[in-house]
Amino acid sequence: MPGTPQPGSVGVLRSRSPQILGLVAKGSFGTILKVLDCGREKVCAVKVMPKVEVLRRDTLKQCKEEVSIQRQVRHPFVHGLGDSWQGQRHLFIMCTYCSTGDLHALWRAAGRFAEATVRLFAAELVLVLVYLHDLGIVHRDVKMENILLDERGHLKLADFGLSRHLRWGERAHTICGTLQYMAPEVLSGGPYSHAADWWSLGVLLFALASGEFPVAPAGDHVAMLERVNRSSYASPPALSPALARLLAELLCHNPLRRLRYLHHFQDHPFFWGVTFDADLLQKDPVAVAVAPRPPEPPSPTPDPSTFDDFDCDLTATAPPDQPWPG
């Protein structure tokens, strides 16, 4: 990792004095906060990881890989990195805050999507996965919860916490990801490659189009592998033949036979009439994503004292100007 602050990062960020606005999510990885970048008057999301937990879980190398990858990628359908820095007790990764939410929340509200919407979302995800794989990056956690929506309803692939650089011909063996989306070769402990992301895309598209996952979740990777191996992954009869064929060619147990290259999708009957160009795909808003939704209970404006006892050195100034650990 670079050992010097990146332009516009550590020192500048500290001078902006980010103000905590609320809690976005909390999990085993740490906490995601909604903050106001006061200097730019911009709302952002900050992933907060306690150093003691990073060391206890022996995930420092993966944290460095996450930031390295997000600094490297620049794509319209990637949720890009804003800043990264460290305090005395925490590591921080800051990104743009997506107020529209994630694809999973939209899917739960919609039940399932029309094939035209599935086609658009699929094309956007194909472009970003091809881009990542061309850079030698495997995401390893492609799922609805990790896909955010911008203000026009287009997708932003997020959370590179499990991603890694994987050269062509190299193989991985770590069992990681989300069970319902994990390819059989990942569930079995490898070896696996970038093709695992295409299986995850197949699971995601199956759920978007049908309203349900192809295989029910299991309690662990061994039981999940048994279910995956027993399943035929037959598409519901309501799906068009072209979409059913696409799903069958993504949810193929043999990773060498899965669709994986851009021309495979450009020539596929499900994508006839689609131009795989990011600018053209983003030309119009996605109706189902920007349509009014049932109002959620309003979140009260947090009192500043709400986070007084929050153990987070977000705006700590000692030691000053610390770059990401290198």
Backbone torsion region of residue 281, taken as left when φ is above 0, otherwise alpha when ψ lies between -120 and 50, otherwise beta: alpha
Q: How far apart are CA 319 and CA 87, in angstroms?
A: 7
- Residue 172: strand pairing partners: 192
Q: 105-140: b or e for each residue (b if 16 or more CB lie within 10 Å)?
A: ebbeebebbebebbbbbbbbbbbbbbbbbeeebbbb
- Residue whose entry in the numeric block shows the structure tokens 């949810």: 251
- Cβ 85 vs Cβ 163: under 8 Å: no
- Cβ 257 vs Cβ 266: under 8 Å: no
- Cβ 33 vs Cβ 20: under 8 Å: yes
| Burial category of 257 from C-beta neighbours within 10 Å (exposed 0-12, middle 13-18, buried 19 and up) | exposed
Alpha-carbon Rg for the chain in angstroms: 20
- Check if 220 is active-site: no
Q: How far apart are CA 208 and CA 147, in angstroms?
A: 13
- The torsion angles phi and psi of 179, rounded to 5 degrees, stand at -50, -50
Q: How far apart are CA 219 and CA 227, in angstroms?
A: 11
Q: How far apart are CA 214 and CA 205, in angstroms?
A: 10
- Give the active site residue among 37, 83, 141, 159: 141
SS3 of 141-195: CCCHHHEEECCCCCEEECCCCCCEECCCCCCECCCCCCHHHCCHHHHCCCCECCH
Which are the catalytic amino acids? 141
